[in-house]
Amino acid sequence: MTKTKQENITKIEQLLRSDNYEAGFELLLTLNNTELIKALDKEVISCLVMYLNHRDIKDVMELSMKLGLFNLFQMHLAKVSSIDSNTIKLLNERDDLDKTVRKIIELKYSLSELYKKYLQDNQGFDIVSEISDEQWINDSEISKKNLGEIIFETLFRDDNKKLVLAVTKNPHFPSAYLKELYELHQDKFDWDSYRLYLTWIILSHSNCPETVLEMASDKNEGYCSSLIRKAVALNKNTNQHIIAILLKDQYRWVRQAAASHSSLKINDILKLIETGDRYILKGLKENTNCDTNVIKKITTLLEDEVKYPLEYTTYSVTGCVEPGRACAGVIPIDIIVALIKSDYVFPEGLYDLNEGDETWTTFDNIYYADGAFDGPGSEICINDRKNNTEEEYIEIGNDIGFGGESPDITKFHNSEYDPSYFKSLEVGTFFHNTTSYHEGSVEFEPIEQEDELKIWELTRKWRFGLFSTFDYSENLRHIYFEGDWTHEISDYSLGGTLYVKTGEDSFSAVEQAQLTDEISKELGDDIRTTQGDEDAITLYLKNKYKGK
């Protein structure tokens, strides 16, 4: 390389790494040196990506053509752009992409359309879970098709975490990318649900490299790493040396998984029967190398719970405070008229007005929910006395809510997302939104069981701002933290607001006392003391709000 060329490279590199990187483009165009551009292609493409943030894609593409980097640049954009990015949409509209780039862009664009449709079909949900299954992923068949190496490469780096999980599950996903994904996350284990689940998928994969399995088998950071080691023990690619180590693991589910591994031959199995504990025996019973006689022998041994004692782990969650309920719904105008004529104030007044026959919860055709306004903490406590002197607290990480903390009452009908319902109501329709709190709290019974809990399968569920339940589903196994929801329904703190519809999507609050005084003044009498004027009050209300 000539001294002049090196000087030019150094000068252009400095410009490209500065805020004035556009000057680097200009210098490259002025010098018009293909070898120079080739030597700096990565730096130039990085700057073109930044340039795209505040320039039209057409202008940036034209610049990449002038620099002789058009094909490299479009391939870079195709690979690094997330499916929901505007770049994918813009590239999909171009007709000058090469065949491979077109294939990537069309796939990503189709995935983005599936994702948009999914979001449209599931309006009303507040989904915080990064790992729960979503229909758009299933529809795409990303977890099944052999997409080819270049497609796998671009998808597993996408910003959409559920897409990454789906493509990693694909049986054709290359081992090299499994290794890259594992190494990307292995030093960041704060054991959030997403990283834990992704690592479990990697280690359960049939293409998982032996080097990754070996690295993971050395992880020993408490309960969560035991789930990782179990995945290693269950993988057919794990060698016998690692299995021998995992057979001595402190966690029983790891020992059980290791004992089920097909690398153990009949002689190994017979030796382990003589020395193993209950969970080694349970694993051996599942081992495909066991014949019927050996299985019968193990079954008999397991009946002795003194020699082979059962072991349990306790899983517990914190309770809830502020139990209560909330609802919203249309109130017939005759009820509104009766309230206005009485001294009873909504919502408590409905109890007195109807002598308990109709209360605020009667009118719940917009939404109804009960549970706890202040839900349980986001951690699960794991107490395994045999393995740990201290309890472990691990972040649950998954929340699925419907309706939001402050429900938009124009968007729901009968507790389902349906914005057409509010639009269908006549202007002047009255409705309410009311919440109540009960005395006491809700505690959840701990779960004691032999099996592990996969933390990523545990979800806290909410409806219309109230916590409703925990959900744990693993294959066909469902586990529930039983809560004592039998507290007295006291409604000790009750608050609600009356509203009236004033437009297609608009409404305003109604001040009951003010409305009573207004109508009394209009009719010339205190309507709280008169009789037989219900029709006149109804007509007044209809005329008052119909023009708003």
Residues 201-226: pLDDT tens digits?
A: 999 999 999 999 999 999 888 899 99
Q: Tell me if 457 is assigned to some domain.
A: yes
Please tell me the chain's helix, strand, coil percentages from 3-state DSSP, rounded to the nearest 5.
45, 15, 35
Which of 311, 336, 351 terminates a domain? The answer is 311
Specify whether the CB–CB gap between 209 and 179 falls below 8 A.
yes
Comparison of pLDDT for 274 and 480, the residue scoring more: 274
1 pLDDT above the threshold of 60: no
Cα–Cα distance, 257 to 245 (Å, whole number): 12
368 pLDDT above the threshold of 90: yes
Same domain, 40 and 114: yes
Average pLDDT over residues 152-181: 95
- Which are the contacts of 453, defined by CB distance < 8 A and separation ≥ 6? 315, 380, 382, 447, 472, 479
Cα–Cα distance, 466 to 442 (Å, whole number): 13
Average pLDDT over residues 167-183: 96
Specify whether the CB–CB gap between 238 and 206 falls below 8 A.
no
Q: Tell me if 163 is assigned to some domain.
A: no
Lowest mean pLDDT among 136-145, 160-169, 483-492, 539-548: 483-492
Same domain, 332 and 456: yes
186 pLDDT above the threshold of 80: no
Q: Tell me if 152 is assigned to some domain.
A: no
Average pLDDT over residues 489-499: 87
Same domain, 99 and 183: no
- Using 50, 70 and 90 to split pLDDT, how confident is the model at 389? low
Lowest mean pLDDT among 226-240, 431-445, 487-501: 487-501
The two three-digit tokens of residue 363, written as one number: 């009118």
The two three-digit tokens of residue 502, written as one number: 């004033």
Q: Where does 82-192 have alpha helices with state H?
A: 86-92, 99-121, 135-140, 149-155, 161-169, 175-185
R_g of the chain computed on alpha carbons: 33
Same domain, 446 and 353: yes
Which pLDDT does position 285 carry in this prediction?
Answer: 96
Same domain, 343 and 284: no
272 pLDDT above the threshold of 60: yes
- Which are the contacts of 525, defined by CB distance < 8 A and separation ≥ 6? 533
Alpha carbons within 13 A on the beta-carbon side of 467: 26
357 pLDDT above the threshold of 70: no
Average pLDDT over residues 432-455: 91
Cα–Cα distance, 453 to 147 (Å, whole number): 33
Which pLDDT does position 188 carry in this prediction?
Answer: 54
Percent of the chain with pLDDT over 90: 60
48 pLDDT above the threshold of 60: yes
Instruction: Tell me the residue length of the chain.
Output: 548
Same domain, 302 and 337: no
Which of 287, 311, 335 terminates a domain? The answer is 311
Q: Tell me if 207 is assigned to some domain.
A: yes
Cα–Cα distance, 344 to 351 (Å, whole number): 9
- Using 50, 70 and 90 to split pLDDT, how confident is the model at 139? confident
Same domain, 96 and 218: no
In the chain, how many domains are there? 3
The two three-digit tokens of residue 490, written as one number: 């006291």
532 pLDDT above the threshold of 70: yes
114 pLDDT above the threshold of 70: yes
7 pLDDT above the threshold of 80: no
Lowest mean pLDDT among 70-74, 481-485, 486-490: 486-490
The two three-digit tokens of residue 118, written as one number: 């999914």
Which pLDDT does position 247 carry in this prediction?
Answer: 97
Which pLDDT does position 432 carry in this prediction?
Answer: 96
The angle subtended at Cα 245 by Cα 240 and Cα 302, nearest 5°, is 95
Q: Tell me if 414 is assigned to some domain.
A: yes
Tokens 């999909």: give the residue: 92
- Containing 462, the helix (H) or strand (E) segment is strand 458-463
Which pLDDT does position 119 carry in this prediction?
Answer: 86
- Which are the contacts of 96, defined by CB distance < 8 A and separation ≥ 6? none
Which pLDDT does position 477 carry in this prediction?
Answer: 67
Q: Tell me if 164 is assigned to some domain.
A: no
- Which are the contacts of 322, defined by CB distance < 8 A and separation ≥ 6? 372, 373, 374, 437
Structural domain that includes position 516: 322-376+399-546
Which pLDDT does position 315 carry in this prediction?
Answer: 94
DSSP code per residue over 221-275? SSHHHHHHHHHHHH-TT--HHHHHHHTT-SSHHHHHHHHT-TT--HHHHHHHHHH
- Using 50, 70 and 90 to split pLDDT, how confident is the model at 464? very high
- Containing 296, the helix (H) or strand (E) segment is helix 292-302
Same domain, 419 and 509: yes
Residues in a beta bridge with 127? 400
Same domain, 211 and 112: no
Which of 81, 103, 121 terminates a domain? The answer is 121
Same domain, 294 and 353: no
Average pLDDT over residues 250-260: 97
pTM assigned to the model: 0.87
* Average pLDDT in the chain: 90
Same domain, 71 and 111: yes
Instruction: Give the C-alpha distances (Å, rounded to integers) separating 376 from 33, 51, 109, 150, 395.
Output: 64, 47, 39, 44, 12
Chain centroid to Cα 242, Å, comes to 34
Cα–Cα distance, 419 to 476 (Å, whole number): 35
Specify whether the CB–CB gap between 65 and 48 falls below 8 A.
no
Average pLDDT over residues 343-352: 85
Which pLDDT does position 267 carry in this prediction?
Answer: 94
Which pLDDT does position 126 carry in this prediction?
Answer: 79
Same domain, 326 and 273: no
349 pLDDT above the threshold of 80: yes
Q: Tell me if 66 is assigned to some domain.
A: yes
Specify whether the CB–CB gap between 372 and 321 falls below 8 A.
yes
The two three-digit tokens of residue 537, written as one number: 């009050």
Q: Tell me if 155 is assigned to some domain.
A: no
288 pLDDT above the threshold of 70: yes
- Containing 72, the helix (H) or strand (E) segment is helix 70-80
Which pLDDT does position 475 carry in this prediction?
Answer: 63
The two three-digit tokens of residue 132, written as one number: 């729960």
